[in-house]
Amino acid sequence: MDFEPSYMALVDSGEIDERIEKLYASLEKCEICPRKCGVNRLQGEMGYCKADANLVVSSAQPHFWEEAPLVGLGGSGTVFLSNCNLRCVYCQNSEISHGGEGVSMTPEQLADSMLYLQRVGCHNINLVTPTHYTPQLVRSIAIAARKGLRLPVVYNCSGYESVETLKLLDGIIDIYMPDMKYGDVESAKLYSDAPDYVEVSKDAVREMHAQVGDLVIEMDIAWHGLLIRHLLLPNERAGSLKVLEFIANEISKDSYVNIMFQYRPSYEAFEFKEISRPPFVEEYNVVLDMARGLGLHRGFPNL
């Protein structure tokens, strides 16, 4: 398949440089994400996510445990970013997301890592928890593109995104892969310290879908579009039905939805009795039936 990533048009026209300028300007009184902390990250101040102007990366390597259309034979070129704009009590990577473990890299160095991931045969550049580093990451993409990067970029995020920032990513990101963690406001507040998560994530996913549409898979590889993840929590604590209803009724019944069954309590989850166990298979089957009943049919077992 002949494929040219979206960002090449903006690189060729030079518009990507204007976007980078606008994104960096947002760091001066940071409103990159919905927390809108207002700190001057360019002067070394830190807000909720504990990130300043430095790009901190935990790892950049081929990864084979993502969704099958991202992995193919060559793997997904994952770049794990340190820090996070959510505080999930069940975080699986708390040392990285909350503890900030990782190494400082310049956008130029990360661009070279992206080119390395392309050289070793990865099918995409998969930016994991990218939100708070959007300006630095777009700069890396522009540098890498000018040196020959031609892979689609995956924006693999928590769904807690600012629509204004997403608009500056229009035409740069080929695949949006947001979580839709909660359909229930109380859970979002209690487990992720984000009482506005439900509405914020809906607006973000609407914007993402408007930009890229449903997921396009050709030759078993994802090239473009929206891939939504929903992590099943025990005791219906994720509000799964509300999430699935939103996707089916307001986004598209052709949405690719990975309903994830891998929740295991970790970090501070044991302090919350109702989420201190994995979900049961019966709970998973109920949610799969809900999805099928709503007309969703991609991304989960559809027997």
- Contact positions toward ligand SF4, by CB under 6 A? 30-33, 35-37, 39, 47-49, 51, 85, 132
Q: How far is the CB of 276 from ligand SF4 (least distance, A)?
A: 28
Q: For the CB of residue 241, give the shortest distance to ligand SF4 in the complex, in Å.
A: 29
For residues 284 and 232, the answer to whether their CB atoms sit within 8 Å is yes
- What angle in degrees, to the nearest 10, is found between the helix axes of 134-146 and 15-26? 160
Closest C-alpha to 83, from 43, 141, 35: 35
Smallest distance, ligand SF4 to C-beta of residue 34, A: 7
Residue number with CB closer to ligand SF4 (30 or 144):
30
Cβ 84 to ligand SF4 shortest distance, Å? 9
Cβ proximity to ligand SF4, 48 vs 155, nearer residue:
48
Bridge partner list, 80: 59, 128
Q: Is 127 helix (H, G, I), strand (E, B) or coil?
A: strand
In 3-state terms, what secondary structure has residue 19? helix
Q: Which is nearer to ligand SF4, 70 or 157 (CB)?
A: 157
Tell me whether residue 5 or residue 135 sits nearer to ligand SF4 (CB atom).
135
Give which of 203, 16, 229 is closest to 111, Cα–Cα: 16
Query: Residue 28 or residue 274: which is nearer to ligand SF4 going by CB?
Result: 28
For 275, other C-beta atoms within 10 Å of its C-beta total 22
Task: Find all residues with CB under 8 Å of 43, minimum gap 6, and list them.
Answer: none
Task: Tell me the C-alpha distance between 137 and 150, whole Å.
Answer: 15
Q: Is the dihedral of CA 18, 21, 23, 25 positive or negative?
A: negative
165, 172 in Cβ contact below 8 A?
no
Q: How far is the CB of 86 from ligand SF4 (least distance, A)?
A: 9
Minimum CB separation of residue 245 from ligand SF4 in Å reads 28
- To ligand SF4, the closest distance from the beta carbon of 98 in angstroms equals 13
Residue nearest to ligand SF4 (CB): 47
- For ligand SF4, the closer CB: 33 or 247: 33
Give dist(CA 156, CA 175) in Å, integer.
8
Nearer Cβ to ligand SF4 (123/132)? 132
